[in-house]
Amino acid sequence: MIGLISATAAGAAARDRLATAWPDRTRVYGGVPVREAVERAFDECDALVCFLATGATVRLLAPLLGDKRTDPGVVCVDEAQRYAVALLGGHEGGANELAASVAGALPGCEPVVTTATDATGVPGLDALGWPVEGAVPSVTRAILDGTPVTLRATAQWPLPAFPDNVSPPPATAAPEAPTGLPDTAVEDLAVADGPRTTLWVTDEVLPLGPDEAVLRPPSLAVGIGASRGVSSDEVIGLIEQTLDDAGLSMRSVAELATVDAKAGEPGLLSAADRLDLPLRTYAAGVLADVEVPNPSDAPLAAVGTPSVAEAAALTAAGEEARLIVPKAKSVRLDGAPAMATAAVARRRPRGRLALVGLGPGARDLMTPRARDELRRASVLVGLDQYVEQIRDLLRPGTRVLESGLGSEEERARTAVAEARAGRSVALIGSGDAGVYAMASPALAEASTDIDVVGVPGVTAALAAAAVLGAPLGHDHVSVSLSDLHTPWEVIERRVRAAAESDTVVTFYNPRSRGRDWQLPKALAVLAEHRSPGTPVGVVRSASRHDEQVTLTTLGALDATVVDMMTVVTVGNTATRTVAGRMVTPRGYRWQT
């Protein structure tokens, strides 16, 4: 819940605007003195928006501050609503994000974010979504200051990009160093010997130096076998002991797993709940097929699989998982028989391929999710002209693999290969990445060993339609007129089908220098079934600064105004021009 507090009339108006925009997420603290309102909201809410000066807010908040992990995030909005300032709890309190959304909800308002990592585009260690331990402030400081930070990951995790000063340790010197090393190499070794700020990425428990921090990847799955009536204390004790003995961190455990028959076992459910971990369950038949080191007869008789803990851990950890701690039994102080078994499997880290549609061109038609994916990637693959469009959004250190037109297959292959190597990759395309674009060649290459995330984008047909009016108000299709990869006969057959079925058509790739007869031919096919007066919209560079819009008719269209930056939308027999806008009726009877 977001608490809203104001003191002046202008503040109250802005406060009410926000309360109306987010009715379910906000609570207005009014009718009491401001100090009391702030105190109550601080106590009751996850976040506060104060329509007060920063100075006043700081004085009111000072006596209330506790711990940055639990205090609500606080955003201040000035009297003229020009700025939404993230004042407190930028990362963990969510104030940076809240400042951005408040600014989005108040016209003309801009977010102000001062936490260094956000302002410079460097990922804050606490913003990666993984638990982090150790000297977080000093490692963050070093990353920002550009002083060397050694990144020591025990596996290739799909991390976001870090700036150049964060790098893996230099390769260990060859046993017999070649003579005549260049000076720089000597210096590198000298640096490597000195004290280093280190960022670890591992599930192993390590003794941390004063300048070391560790990120805990979600790498472990713990399989649990349990007898009926087991207590949650026994389960948790066993998990903790098992991890401890193996030198593994509880904070890297991503999930608990068991057999379906134990899905309702209260001690297991309560253990998962207390550890704040999901409990996954699998059918006995699935577990029985998993090869394990320690099968036994007891579970086979009881639940129909010779292994629960080991098999469930391996199944939950997925393809190419490794069992790193075999089945262990709980030890009970009273000497009674153990009621729980546990085993630990480690996941093979999976790379991540995001297929990101950038939208038609205008920055504000790119979705926030697309933006997030660009910032989550350490490798960006795309056509050079699209890369230019978003270069400023990338984190420093993002590796950009750009290529020119025509090398689509190579781009797709590169993106998949980088993801397979365990990296976090964004493959970008204009509009929607799945519409006449890179998503299909990429996924035709990809196998099950990577995670794939699709981010939809505003495709050219929609961007153009919004400019033209409402041409897509009834059934519509898109047809690409590029016969580079599709025989013309196929294209013509589809255009004819659209013509015969009276469907609105948007032509992509309508005309280029070497390809000029296809558009007139396609229009002629449509004209066999539509009158010369049928409205046609021609939109070039939709949403870009050089956008051009022509609203004409099937009979009057001058095909030479059309080029490869253009889409052409042809109405159906019901489409009309109303007040200069193209409108296709929805076809309800009450509209005829």
**Contact residues for ligand SAH (CB under 6 A)?**
360-361, 429-432, 435-437, 459-460, 463-464, 508-510, 539-544, 564-567
Least Å distance between CB 435 and ligand SAH? 4
Judged by beta carbon, residue 127 or residue 463, the one nearer ligand SAH is: 463
Q: What tokens were used for 327?
A: 């089945």
Do 393 and 371 touch, CB atoms closer than 8 A? yes
Least Å distance between CB 373 and ligand SAH? 16
Judged by beta carbon, residue 4 or residue 462, the one nearer ligand SAH is: 462
DSSP string, 426-443: EEEESB-TTSSSTHHHHH
Distance (Å, whole) CA 560 – CA 556: 12
Least Å distance between CB 516 and ligand SAH? 14
Measured between its terminal Cα atoms, the distance across the chain in Å is 47
Judged by beta carbon, residue 353 or residue 435, the one nearer ligand SAH is: 435
Judged by beta carbon, residue 323 or residue 539, the one nearer ligand SAH is: 539
Q: Which helix (H) or strand (E) holds 66?
A: none
Residue type, 19: A
Least Å distance between CB 352 and ligand SAH? 21
Least Å distance between CB 513 and ligand SAH? 13
Reduced to 3 states (helix: H, G, I; strand: E, B; else coil), residue 159 is coil
Judged by beta carbon, residue 529 or residue 544, the one nearer ligand SAH is: 544
Judged by beta carbon, residue 50 or residue 542, the one nearer ligand SAH is: 542
Judged by beta carbon, residue 476 or residue 540, the one nearer ligand SAH is: 540
Judged by beta carbon, residue 166 or residue 542, the one nearer ligand SAH is: 542
* Dihedral sign (CA 271, 275, 281, 286): negative
From the list 116, 66, 60, 58, the residue with the least C-alpha distance to 91 is 116
Q: ∠ at Cα 399 (396, 404), nearest 5°?
A: 125
Burial class (CB in 10 A: 0-12, 13-18, 19+), 527: middle
Least Å distance between CB 544 and ligand SAH? 6
Least Å distance between CB 511 and ligand SAH? 9
Place of tokens 């993230």: 86
Least Å distance between CB 547 and ligand SAH? 8
Do 460 and 388 touch, CB atoms closer than 8 A? no
Q: Which residue, judged by CB position, is nearest to ligand SAH in the bound state?
A: 431
Q: ∠ at Cα 411 (409, 414), nearest 5°?
A: 110
Least Å distance between CB 444 and ligand SAH? 16
Q: What tokens were used for 211?
A: 């300048």
* Dihedral Cα 543, 547, 553, 559, nearest 10 deg: -120
Do 260 and 281 touch, CB atoms closer than 8 A? yes
Judged by beta carbon, residue 361 or residue 441, the one nearer ligand SAH is: 361
